[in-house]
Amino acid sequence: MTDYRQKYKMTPVVGWLLNDRGGMTLLAILIAAAILVPVGNLLVPESSAFHVPTWMVSLLGKYLCYALLALSVDLIWGFCGILSLGHGAFFALGGYAMGMYLMRQIGDRGVYGDPILPDFMVFLNWKELPWYWYGFDMFWFAIVMAMFVPGLLAFVFGFLAFRSRVTGVYLSIITQAMTYALLLAFFRNDMGFGGNNGLTDFKDLLGFSLQSDGTRAGLFVASCVFLGLCYIVARGITQSRLGKVLIAIRDAESRVRFTGYRVEYYKLFVFTVSAVMAGIAGALYVPQVGIINPGEFAPALSIEIVIWVAVGGRGTLYGAVLGAFIVNYAKTFFTGVMPDFWLFFLGGLFIAVTLFLPKGVIGAVPAFGAADRQSLFTTWRKRVAERRANEGGKA
Amino acid sequence: MSEAAVIETGASDEPQVKSARAETILYVDGVSVTFDGFRALNNLSFYVEPGELRAIIGPNGAGKTTMMDIITGKTRPDTGDVLFKSEIDLTKMDEAEIANLGIGRKFQKPTVFESHTVFDNLLLACSGGRGVFQALFHRLSDAEKIRIEKTLITIMLEDKRDEMAANLSHGQKQWLEIGMLLMQEPELLLVDEPVAGMTDSETEETAKLLRSIAKDRSVVVVEHDMEFVRDLDCKVTVLHEGSVLAEGRLDHVQKDPRVIEVYLGR
């Protein structure tokens, strides 16, 4: 591939985008989707074959949020080797921040008609709004919090974990514990986040009804835009010298330390950025699905995110996006057709990808695969031969 | 007190330890460290002068790697002093701080960044800002580029510039790692078994490389290979069970009966 950066001495941003075939494809698809899907939904008449039904707009919008979440996990796992099994927590926190705004937008239209208190608080006989609900009547504040709260949690958590040099499987386990602890906390009614039921019955966002096709299309476009922007930011990070340090940490952490880099600061930076992205994904997700509850903190969901990334292709960013779409489409399909079969399929998919597609689906596409990529058959044969050799060695 | 542990063998031109402290680049005094009851280092004392090339030999378990770990901040000693340039206390610092002071370390197993090109490996080691945001907005300067190209020639890898480090041979990885250390511009270089697994010609080239590097800086080489130590042509410190058994020119220490016993008596 031509190195456009050297050829035209372009600004870095243009340079790394032109050198990135997968990313260019992704951005092109996002731009096309952001135009065609709303047009197909709002302008094309329902009788036409090109009409995009509203449920499809919302479904695709939901997938885009998952894709952004997968992107955030790939940024830390694919490029810095931090396997977070608790990233759903940052997603859910972003979602709760948006949910709190949407709750306060309901105003006196709730079942109990209280102008300030959300329904669940009236139900619990609360007399006034808890202090941490203040400010969430303002959209900008909710958006800032959707990024700030996950970022702060990641910063504090990461500071403690990385400074103590917790790595590998131990880190994965404590991220699981983190999301599980939050799950239990948010289940409690006296936390003030709606307990088991979470936050729901949203009415409108910035004055636009959440039920209207226009708002849904708008949220879809916003999801496309934020996924694209976050992709560009993530790509920028991975292409910088900082990104090279991250990859170096992934491959030989102690070498990086002895080279004079403070590994913990680098990990902390990328972990926080990743959590902010997950928070944005959560904030976009909630108005599109209309509910946020503690179930989003479930450890199993966080593990599922890692599977999306592995299926798509770890360490490519756009592979994570593809993986999120493939797995979630399969989930929608299977849970519709044969719900009992879904978990078996997910498990089988994960095993198959690990065995046959170590670089994910992206790794199997010639145009995007690495230069030293091998055919599936060759990989398979090599593995069998290795295993035989090992068994032979033992016997 | 600990100087008594240093047994001077031959090499009568060596100055006394006490007076040398003022101009040492590395001063290790009375260092002991215990892991789960096992004494890895036992009152270890030695010093290295600026510009000196020093070989450290010793049988397995003599404490060579532990000594490196202590100097580079990976392990903290139970007791003892480790001073850099006679005044900076290394026992209170971590790896990154010590690396930035100008102490480079090469591992026993070649450790390079396999998914980066040879050029990028050197770039990452290039001395300069190590901050997160400095790295985020860093752009390659011409001066850095020239330094990297020069180092590529020194380590004989100029034609592998854009090759992934994973694709290098074992010996080439060792050289790349030495090159990365050079890019850090250290004043003191610690090299752990640089020729393990190398072919004879590679070993010879490596000895040449280390001798030329030692012209501008102090180098401490830990090695098993006697032929290689002979090629280095420098003062040798023999470690045994965590302390210094003998010190001096190779011919002298090889005649030392205790050294013979440690090496041949088992």
Residues 6 or more apart from B54 whose CB is under 8 A from it?
B48, B218, B219, B220, B221, B234, B235, B236, B237
Chain A positions touching B94 (Cβ under 8 A) are 257
Q: A244-279 burial, b for 16+ CB within 10 Å, e for fewer?
A: bbbbbbbbbbebbbbbbbbbbbbbbbbbbbbbbbbb
Beta bridge partners of A291: A200
Rounded average pLDDT over B154-161: 86
Inter-chain CB proximity A248 and B111 less than 8 Å: no
Residue A168 token pair: 């590998």
Look at residue B8 in the predicted model and tell me its pLDDT: 44
* Token pair of B32 as six digits: 């002991």
Chain B contact for A387 (CB, 8 A cutoff): no
3-state secondary structure at position B205: helix
Q: CA-CA distance, A326 to A308, in Å (whole number)?
A: 8
CATH of domain B2-264: 3.40.50.300
Say if A382 is an interface residue toward chain B (CB within 8 Å). Answer: no
Amino acid A200 reads: T
Q: Mind listing the pLDDT tens digit for each residue in A115-132?
A: 888 888 888 888 888 899
Query: Per-residue b/e over A133-170, b at no fewer than 16 CB within 10 Å?
Result: beebbeeebbbebbbbbbbebbbebbbebbeeebbeee
ipTM comes to 0.80
Q: Are B115 and A242 inside 8 Å of each other by CB?
A: no
Q: At residue B18, does pLDDT exceed 50?
A: no
**A386: Cβ–Cβ under 8 A, 6 or more apart, which residues?**
none
Query: Within an 8 Å CB–CB cutoff, is residue B180 touching chain A?
Result: yes
The reported pLDDT for the residue numbered B201 is 84
Domain ranges in chain B are 2-264
pLDDT over threshold 90, residue A159: yes
Chain A positions touching B184 (Cβ under 8 A) are 259-260
Selected from 1.10.10, 2.40.128, 1.10.3470, 1.10.1740, the CATH number assigned to the domain covering A56-338 reads 1.10.3470
- Mark yes or no for CB contact A252/B113 under 8 Å: yes
- pLDDT > 70? residue B264: no
- What distances in angstroms separate CA A14 from CA A17, A235, A239, B36, one per listed residue? 5, 11, 12, 56
Residues B145, A244: Cα–Cα separation, whole Å: 16
B132 chain-A contacts, CB cut-off 8 A: 242, 262, 265-266, 269
List, in sequence order, every residue forming a beta bridge with B29; answer none if it has no partner.
B81
Nearest-by-CA chain B residue for A11: B139
pLDDT at A174: 94
Span B89-142, pLDDT tens digits: 888 888 888 988 889 888 888 889 998 999 999 988 887 778 888 888 888 888
Which pLDDT score is estimated for B223?
A: 84
Q: Give me the helix-helix angle, A139-163 and A263-289, nearest 10°.
A: 140
Interface check for B135 against chain A (CB to CB < 8 A): the answer is yes
Cβ–Cβ contact B116 with A under 8 A: yes
Among the ranges given (A54-63, B3-12, B43-52), the one the predictor scored with the smallest mean pLDDT: B3-12
- Using the Cα atoms of residue A277, residue A281, residue A284 and residue A286 in order, give the sign of their dihedral: negative
Confidence of residue B15 (pLDDT cuts 50, 70, 90): very low
The pLDDT tens digits of the residues spanning A128-143 come to 888 998 988 899 999 9
**Residue A230: per-residue pLDDT:** 95
pLDDT at residue B253 tops 80: yes
**Which residue on chain A is closest to B105 by alpha carbon?**
A258
Quick: pLDDT tens for B167-216.
Answer: 888 888 888 988 898 888 888 989 888 887 788 888 888 888 888 888 88
Rama region for A106: left / alpha / beta (φ>0; ψ in -120 to 50; rest): alpha
pLDDT at position B109, please?
Answer: 81
**In this structure, what are the phi and psi dihedrals at residue A19, rounded to the nearest 5 degrees?**
-85, 0
Q: For the residues A157-182, what does the mean pLDDT come to? A: 93
Is A255 in the B-facing interface, judged by CB distances under 8 Å?
yes
A242 touches chain B (CB under 8 A): yes
Position A375 pLDDT exceeds 50: no
Closest by Cβ to B116, choosing from A237, A248, A258: A248
Q: Structure pTM?
A: 0.85
- Chain A residue numbers touching B112 (CB-CB < 8 A): 252, 255
Residue A370 banded pLDDT, cuts 50, 70, 90: very low
pLDDT given for residue B232 in this prediction: 82
From the list A250, A259, A262, which residue is nearest B180 (CB)?
A: A259
Is A252 within 8 Å of chain B by CB?
A: yes
* Contact (CB<8Å) B112/A263: no
For the four alpha carbons of A334, A338, A344 and A348, in that order, the dihedral sign comes to: negative
B142 lies within 8 A of chain A by CB: no
Which of B69, B90, B111, B139 is most worth mutating to test chain A (most A CB atoms within 10 A of its CB)?
Answer: B111
Q: Cα separation of A218 and A57, whole Å?
A: 10
Candidates A244, A250, A254; nearest CB to B124 = A244
- In terms of Cα–Cα distance, which of A60, A63, A89, A98 is closest to A202? A98
Q: A residues 29-68 near B, CB within 8 Å?
A: none
CB–CB contact B135 A262 (8 Å) = no
The answer for residues whose C-beta is within 8 angstroms of residue A324's C-beta and 6 or more apart is A63, A66, A67, A69, A70, A308, A309, A312
| pLDDT at A3 (0 to 100) | 54
* Residue range A250-266: mean pLDDT, rounded: 90
Measured between alpha carbons, how far is A174 from A172 in angstroms, rounded to an integer?
6
Residue A378 binned pLDDT confidence (cut-offs 50, 70, 90): low
CB-CB under 8 Å, A244 with B132: no
Q: Are A335 and A342 in contact (CB under 8 A)?
A: yes
| pLDDT tens digits for range A4-57 | 545 444 455 666 666 778 888 899 999 999 888 888 888 888 888 888 888 889
Distances (CA, A) of B236 to A102, A169, B56, B66, B178: 74, 42, 6, 18, 21
Give residue for tokens 């006679």. B86
What mean pLDDT do residues A200-223 have? Answer: 88
Name which of A3, A257, A258 to mutate to probe chain B: the one with the most chain B Cβ atoms within 10 A of its Cβ.
A258
In the structure, what pLDDT confidence band is assigned to residue A170 with cuts at 50, 70 and 90? Answer: very high
Quick one: tokens of B219? 């180098």
* Residue A380 confidence (pLDDT) above 70: no
Q: Residue B126 and residue B115: Cα distance in Å, rounded? A: 17
Residue A347 burial by CB count (10 A; 0-12/13-18/19+): exposed, middle or buried? exposed
- The whole-angstrom separation of Cα A174 and Cα A190 is 25
Interface contact A289, partner B, CB < 8 A: no
pLDDT at residue A391 in the model:
64
CB pairs under 8 A between A and B: 77
